Amino acid sequence: MALVKTTIDGKDIEVERDRWALDVAREMGIDIPALCHHAALEPYGACRLCVVEVTKGKWTWLTTSCDLPVREGLSIRTDSPAVLNARKTTLELLWAEVPEASELQDLAHQLGLEGPRFNPRSKTGRCILCGLCVRACKKILGQSAISFSNRGAYRTVGTPFDEPSDTCIGCRACVAICPTGHIRSVDVGAVRRIETWHTELEQARCQECGQPFAAVKELEFIRANLPEHIAPEAVCPSCKRKETVQRLSGITNPRSAAAPRQEADAG
């Protein structure tokens, strides 16, 4: 990969061409906020909080750093007055959308904002339309259980026709990746409820302890997409850890010990 010379906050660096400016800046210890960015996904530029000021020759402009490829001769500033002003305005708009989101409140305090300048919108939930859940479901899992619908101020994220999703496997990747805690999930007995998507899924029970631990559709999906020799057993994480400790301690695993005895009895 070719190296290019560029400048970030007055420091000259040499870095691989076309790396994302946000990643390079963070490796330098520069804190740039970003709510729609995740290392496992391609940049999206939805939240606009990672804006930076770029100068090349006589031209200067503001752009998002998560999808800005580093090129030769760029001068990037992450904390100029124009950057901070744009970042504050963007955050105020997001804050008006979901004023109860603690993540936005923390960022606001870091930027010196005391409260939303704009009137809060009357909407439910804490979704900021970052798209992380939609992209994780589609790009990583290939499921498309959720998607964007409508446009402009009416844009939302949800299941098709706001009905329980047939393609949701209950993996809860959307829950884990959501930056504001908008997506809720709870396990009730042998049922996994993805409450935000109005979806319920049957859970498999651990063949060791009998406790429900994962959605049946999730395990089926994993088995269908992994080689047979590494496909997961119907054993919960707690029992797997116990089994690992027993193996490392030299204690025979009851499951593996039972097989020879059964074969001997059959013979």
Same domain? 95 vs 31: yes
Same domain? 7 vs 102: yes
Note whether residue 120 is domain-resident.
no
What pLDDT is recorded for position 263? 47
Within 92-211, strands assigned E span 147-149, 156-158, 185-188, 191-194, 199-205
Q: How many helices (H) and strands (E) does the chain have?
A: 8, 11
Note whether residue 158 is domain-resident.
yes
Note whether residue 117 is domain-resident.
no
Same domain? 154 vs 216: yes
Q: How far, in Å, CA of 36 to CA of 103, rounded?
A: 12
Number of domains in the chain: 2
Same domain? 67 vs 155: no
Note whether residue 265 is domain-resident.
no
What pLDDT is recorded for position 117? 82
Helices within 178-232 (DSSP H only): 216-225
Same domain? 7 vs 96: yes
What pLDDT is recorded for position 252? 59
Note whether residue 266 is domain-resident.
no
What pLDDT is recorded for position 154? 85
Query: DSSP secondary-structure letter at 233?
Result: P
- From first to last of its 267 residues, the chain has per-residue pLDDT tens of 689 999 999 999 999 999 999 999 999 999 999 999 999 999 999 999 999 999 999 999 999 999 999 999 999 999 999 999 999 999 999 888 888 888 888 999 999 988 778 877 766 678 999 999 999 999 999 999 999 999 888 889 999 998 999 999 999 999 999 999 999 999 999 999 999 999 999 999 999 899 999 999 999 998 888 887 676 778 888 998 988 888 888 765 555 544 444 444 454
What pLDDT is recorded for position 249? 84
Same domain? 51 vs 103: yes
Q: 180: Cβ–Cβ under 8 A, 6 or more apart, which residues?
A: 35, 98, 101, 103, 104, 126, 127, 128
Note whether residue 125 is domain-resident.
no
146, 157 in Cβ contact below 8 A?
yes
Same domain? 57 vs 99: yes
Same domain? 91 vs 188: no
110, 84 in Cβ contact below 8 A?
no
Same domain? 146 vs 211: yes
| Residue 20, amino acid | W
Strands 3-8 and 75-77: parallel
pTM of the model: 0.83
Same domain? 102 vs 152: no
Note whether residue 147 is domain-resident.
yes
Same domain? 215 vs 140: yes
Q: How far, in Å, CA of 72 to CA of 5, rounded?
A: 5
Range of the domain at 22: 3-110
User: Inter-axis angle of helices 81-97 and 102-110, to 10 degrees?
Assistant: 160
Note whether residue 51 is domain-resident.
yes
Same domain? 105 vs 160: no
CATH of the domain at 83: 3.10.20.740
CATH of the domain at 175: 3.30.70
What pLDDT is recorded for position 261? 43
